[in-house]
Structure 1
Amino acid sequence: MDEIPFVRERDPHEIEFHQAVAEVIASIRPVLDRNPEYRRQGILERLVEPERIIMFRVPWVDDQGQVRVNRGYRIEMNSAIGPYKGGLRFHPSVNLSILKFLAFEQVFKNALTSLPMGGGKGGSDFDPKGKSDGEVMRFCQSFMAELFRHIGPNTDVPAGDIGVGAREIGYLFGMYKKLANEFTGVLTGKSLNWGGSLIRPEATGYGSVYFAAEMLKTRGDSLEGKRCLVSGSGNVAQFTIQKLIELGARPVSFSDSSGCIYDEQGIDTEKLQRLMQIKNINRGRVREYVETYPDAIYAPLDTALSYNPLWNYPADCAFPSATQNEINEQDARNLLDNGVSVVSEGANMPTTPEGVDLFMEKKILYGPGKAANAGGVSVSGLEMAQNSMRLNWSRSEVDGRLQEIMKRIHRMCADTAEQYGMAGNYVAGANIAGFVKVVNAMIDQGVV
């Protein structure tokens, strides 16, 4: 961070954003040393400052007729290589720091896909949990009543994220269509019968598994028979588990904010369907799983512990798929001590810097989120392409394109790391490859 100390000085409370910036800068110093022009052009100073931050009031009426007020955001971080692209998150934890970190990461992630997409992120501190469909609809309509003037298919194309699924995307799109008086691909993650893409819900989870498989290939290995820890229980976790089962691995865990499940016998297709029923249909908690499968272990969340029990079971691979900073230094040590040699991040920045340092020190196969979970935004980009052409590709075609994109991202990260004398360092490879693409586009376009 010594390259740009003003990041901390200007916004001292934005801890997550500081963490994301520090991690990228640590990786790209060799690039800056080889290209003094980047410093003269003020590239770092321009990269860490969003092109636009939009904050707005979101008033809505609950089912009891009470007016509620939330705060809405859109961070339009960088549009050097295409329209802003990134999800909307509805969760009580949402604040500027978290959204700026997510938008910053999104810039480099989108660059790695080789699709023409800039980076952005947005959302609200609104919590959809426990709300009726009517309350969610009224909130989404109020949110879009302001956001619609700032987005468009060639300007900014939001998608879903935590708390924003097909239901929320539908309500948001309906309000956009009414206000803008046009039917266009302004949002991704839409339902299939009105412009959505097959594989989009599965893409992030599938992509993180494909990236892990590519990493293992470099050591002449595969996922076949590997015990895999997975955190989370939403789309990313569910479809990570599904793809692991398809590739012959043995997923053994999942979690939510109440606690975690460890099923030593392995989660098969039948058990996965039960998890999906609990979370997607009943909107229940993961502890209900043990009512059907009593041999599984449920560990409730214990904030007094300095580690997460989920990461303290014997395994070969780990797929953190819940949220940021869910693996701390002690968790990383537990993973290593229990035999984990592959970590592929389905969530954004799920490992703390101290945990990352341990993974790098032990030279395990570690796929950082901006590379390993780029499958989601990649298929969002494919959805944008289908919308533009008024076409729908088959499931196999989209999945095939996703696999090729993840292979390309892996190859780009591996080749770039080797080019800079850091073979096997996917963190450096991802950061440098994304950085160079974005920065060169910025320089081509002048100081704007």
Structure 2
Amino acid sequence: MVAAVAVLDEKISDLYEQVVARNPGEAEFHQAVREVFDSLGPVLAKHPHYADAGIIKRLTEPERQIIFRVPWIDDQNQVQVNRGFRVEFNSALGPYKGGLRFHPSVYLGVVKFLGFEQIFKNALTGLPIGGGKGGSDFDPKGKSDLEIMRFCQSFMTELYRHIGEYTDVPAGDIGVGGREIGYLFGQYKRITNRYESGVLTGKGLAWGGSQVRTEATGYGAVFFVRDMLAAADDKLDGKTVVVSGSGNVAIFAIEKIQQLGGRVVACSDSSGYVVDEAGIDLELLKEIKNVQRGRIGDYVNARSSARLVTNGSLWNVPTDIAIPCATQNELNGADAAQLVKNGVRVVAEGANMPCTPEAVRIFGEAGVSFAPGKAANAGGVATSALEMQQNASRDSWSFGYTEERLSEIMTSIHDHCLHTAEEYGVPGNYVMGANIAGFTQVADAMLALGLI
């Protein structure tokens, strides 16, 4: 595998400095932009008209940024105030599409990084959706159902005026699951007096949701790993896997890995990580996380073959395949070096930008096959688009049919990345392939639509 381009083209370097100057203090956004810019040298050498038309400059400036106050009352009758965000980044390919994140770390820079990534991720799916993202610095952890409902209703009371099935279609992300989507959709329906089911995705199956949507991001990441291995005449069966996180993405990544014959030996949450050489007991993990809403340590209390580690790094656990599924920048250079030392062969990002630039560089230099999140974790938004299709046609597809569609989309993304990397002289480089394939698709649409 060829390492990512380390030195920016002079034109792109000037543009990058402008982005940093125009968006001060937004480190995550700067990182996401730089990661894409690192891939664009060969594109501009082959297609200089992209630079002449100002495509790159326009791509890094959101079409719309919305920031609003979210007041709500807690269970002690105290007024709380959070900040809400929606960044509608690019609609060249379709309505803005991207999740809502409720987490105390959320600020404008995080939302812009996520929205920028979403542009290219959505383009890679081949489906007609643009890029956007949103959320709030609200922390749902420890809140009662009533507090979460009151917050969601207040959040939607402002957001509703900016969204619609042909305008902007939010979904869930960290801190926003089926419960939160339900409260948000209920308030949207109440305010608008319309059952516009296509305005939000990730809905419950009884009221417009899609089969496989809950599983889609985790399943999709594993399908991508399956295809990476197949491209190297290998398979997942018998491989050891480490998955970070124990939320929705991680749980369903573990499920699909086990279905394909792999053995997951470690997973984590913010309190530490568990190592279970016998293989993670998925049903026990689901019970603890999804039913009891417990901590990863509860798994060890119920499983004699497991041990809990509350310091050190999950990535010290020897593994053939690593799938980071927690949050941005969770896997750093030291972690990457340890994984390489322990013989890791494939790394696929199940979360958004979980590997630092140094980690990506180390994987590239070591010849580790590395898949960036905009390709490997596109299964979630792809299935959201399938949910939109079902809503538009008043239809409902079976689990098996929807999973087959997801598998086909992930294989298409994989092959597109691989072929694009080969076309631009960096064979096997999924980072370059994903960035260039996503960029050219959006850039061509922007050129066709004129200067907007």
Contact 1:148–1:176 (8 Å) recurs in 2: yes
1:397 aligns with 401
1:388 aligns with 392
* Superposition pairs of residues 130-209 of structure 1, within 5 angstroms: 130-184=142-196, 185-209=198-222
Contact 1:216–1:365 (8 Å) recurs in 2: no
CA deviation after TM superposition for structure 1 residue 107, in Å: 0.2
Give 1:311's aligned amino acid. W
1:90 aligns to 2:102 (yes or no): yes
2:67 aligns with 55
How far apart are the structure 1 equivalents of 2:154 and 2:267? 34
1:323 aligns to 2:334 (yes or no): no
CA deviation after TM superposition for structure 1 residue 48, in Å: 0.5
1:222 aligns to 2:235 (yes or no): yes
2:420 aligns with 416
CA deviation after TM superposition for structure 1 residue 96, in Å: 0.7
CA deviation after TM superposition for structure 1 residue 173, in Å: 0.1
1:75 aligns to 2:79 (yes or no): no
1:242 aligns with 255
Give 1:285's aligned amino acid. R
How far apart are the structure 2 equivalents of 1:38 and 1:218? 31
Task: Give TM-score, length-normalised by structure 1.
Answer: 0.97
Deviations along 1:275-311, whole A, 9 cap, x unmatched? 11111111111011111113312111x4xxxxx5210
1:17 aligns to 2:40 (yes or no): no
**50, 71, 77: which one pairs with 1:65?**
77
2:287 aligns with 277
How far apart are the structure 1 equivalents of 2:229 and 2:332? 24
Deviations along 1:14-58, whole A, 9 cap, x unmatched? 000000000100101111121221111111110001000000000
1:231 aligns with 244
**224, 231, 240: which one pairs with 1:211?**
224
How far apart are the structure 1 equivalents of 2:404 and 2:119? 24
Contact 1:70–1:126 (8 Å) recurs in 2: yes
Deviations along 1:79-126, whole A, 9 cap, x unmatched? 000000000000000011111000000000000000000000000000
How far apart are the structure 2 equivalents of 1:229 and 1:55? 37
* Superposition pairs of residues 352-367 of structure 1, within 5 angstroms: 352-367=356-371
Contact 1:158–1:187 (8 Å) recurs in 2: yes
1:368 aligns to 2:379 (yes or no): no
1:259 aligns to 2:272 (yes or no): yes
CA deviation after TM superposition for structure 1 residue 234, in Å: 0.5
How far apart are the structure 2 equivalents of 1:225 and 1:335? 18
Percent of aligned pairs with the same residue?
61
Determine helix, strand or coil for the equivalent of 1:69: strand
How far apart are the structure 2 equivalents of 1:420 and 1:115? 24
1:121 aligns to 2:133 (yes or no): yes
Give 2:167's aligned amino acid. T
1:298 aligns to 2:308 (yes or no): yes
1:2 aligns to 2:6 (yes or no): no
1:110 aligns with 122
How far apart are the structure 2 equivalents of 1:296 and 1:194? 39
Give 5+ residue unaligned stretches, structure 2. Answer: 1-11
**341, 348, 356: which one pairs with 1:344?**
348
Give 5+ residue unaligned stretches, structure 1. Answer: 303-307
Contact 1:59–1:139 (8 Å) recurs in 2: yes
CA deviation after TM superposition for structure 1 residue 362, in Å: 1.5
CA deviation after TM superposition for structure 1 residue 352, in Å: 0.3
Contact 2:266–2:317 (8 Å) recurs in 1: no
CA deviation after TM superposition for structure 1 residue 3, in Å: 3.6
Contact 1:227–1:251 (8 Å) recurs in 2: yes
How far apart are the structure 1 equivalents of 2:449 and 2:321? 42
CA deviation after TM superposition for structure 1 residue 12, in Å: 2.2
How far apart are the structure 2 equivalents of 1:400 and 1:10? 43
2:3 aligns with none
Give 1:387's aligned amino acid. N
How far apart are the structure 2 equivalents of 1:447 and 1:180? 33
1:433 aligns to 2:437 (yes or no): yes
2:299 aligns with 289
CA deviation after TM superposition for structure 1 residue 64, in Å: 1.0
Deviations along 1:171-213, whole A, 9 cap, x unmatched? 0000001111111110000000000000001000000000001
Deviations along 1:128-158, whole A, 9 cap, x unmatched? 1111111100100000000000000000000
Deviations along 1:196-232, whole A, 9 cap, x unmatched? 0000010000000000010001111000000000000
How far apart are the structure 1 equivalents of 2:122 and 2:245? 23
1:305 aligns with none
**334, 337, 349: which one pairs with 1:333?**
337
How far apart are the structure 2 equivalents of 1:149 and 1:296? 49
Give 2:203's aligned amino acid. K
How far apart are the structure 2 equivalents of 1:11 and 1:53? 13
Give 2:307's aligned amino acid. I
Give 2:275's aligned amino acid. Y
2:5 aligns with none
How far apart are the structure 1 equivalents of 2:284 and 2:305? 15
1:310 aligns to 2:314 (yes or no): yes
How far apart are the structure 1 equivalents of 2:338 and 2:166? 46
How far apart are the structure 2 equivalents of 1:148 and 1:97? 22
